Structure 1
């Protein structure tokens, strides 16, 4: 059994929590000389009803995701990583990350932020990070945002 990570997935969505997850992922990828896969899942459920009214919503979501991931990719490469890949996917973040993408990328570590949904959504459907922990076939690191959430 290897104690070195080779394929790391970090899920980012633009939140403070995912920025912390990204920073930890870069540090771990550097220590392990690993491939870093920056992933944003556009949750189709969150805009399906609105899209019937506004067709450009999917295009804006795609543009936001690409800009976010490319910005993170530049930061990761600036930190010295040589193997950085960006992926924008559509679907449910809960199942896409832990099942589809982890298998497709042969991931041995998934890193994500601890929060994202509000308390009512977490109660009703559970958090994405909780679902990833329960269903992933590889190690999962859930990053908590410190009380003083100023990113250095």
Structure 2
């Protein structure tokens, strides 16, 4: 028997794979008639490195995140997801995505992109995804870009 999900969380960050994860989350939420929680985490550790900390910078990042997440919300509603919510959180993406948000919102499925677009993003975002899949107390669905899957398959078949 297939598991029925009721509270689905999708983590979005503006990357191509996050877009794909969002699309999959909409499909799964519709199929399960589940609540969809769209989550964006502003990594506050990035601001700690700025020597002249400026609250205007945080405000700008927050405005951009708000505009993007409202777009996702509208897309999900337009696609037919009946129960959609969104949140912008501040702090450590790993901990918020894997533990804090799911616990607070009774999440039973996390959908997340596998990697970012370049080597640095892959290192940072990939480590977030790896952490979430390893430590989360609920199911995690990792979405990969088809081109990346093909490259990995080709690499593994040559070895």
- Whether the TM-score (by the shorter chain) exceeds 0.5 is yes
Residues matched between the structures, number: 148
After TM superposition, the structure 1 stretch with the greater mean CA deviation from structure 2, 20-29 or 119-128, is 119-128
Cα distance between partner residues in 2 of 1:131 and 1:62: 25
Segments of 5+ residues of structure 2 without an aligned counterpart are 149-159
Higher helix share: 2
Larger radius of gyration: 2
Residues 29 and 35 of structure 1 are in contact (CA less than 8 Å); yes or no, is this contact kept in structure 2? Answer: yes
Aligned pairs for 1:68-107 (under 5 A) are 68-107=68-107
Residues 116 and 127 of structure 1 are in contact (CA less than 8 Å); yes or no, is this contact kept in structure 2? Answer: no
Residues 45 and 91 of structure 1 are in contact (CA less than 8 Å); yes or no, is this contact kept in structure 2? Answer: yes
TM-score relative to the length of structure 1: 0.88
After TM superposition, the structure 1 stretch with the greater mean CA deviation from structure 2, 56-65 or 115-124, is 115-124
Residues 17 and 144 of structure 1 are in contact (CA less than 8 Å); yes or no, is this contact kept in structure 2? Answer: yes
1:13 maps onto 2:3 in alignment: no
TM-score relative to the length of structure 2: 0.85
Q: For the aligned residues, what is the CA RMSD?
A: 2.3
Partner of 1:129: 129
Q: Secondary structure at the match of 1:52?
A: coil
Partner of 1:112: 112
Give the ranges of 4+ consecutive aligned residues of structure 1 lying more than 4 Å apart after TM superposition.
120-126
Kindly state the Cα deviation for residue 47 of structure 1 after the two structures are TM-superposed: 2.2
Kindly state the Cα deviation for residue 64 of structure 1 after the two structures are TM-superposed: 1.1
Segments of 5+ residues of structure 1 without an aligned counterpart are none
1:58-116 C-alpha deviation (Å, 9 max, x unpaired): 10111111111100000000001111001000001101111100100100000000013
Q: Secondary structure at the match of 1:137?
A: coil
Cα distance between partner residues in 2 of 1:12 and 1:82: 19
Q: Secondary structure at the match of 2:111?
A: strand
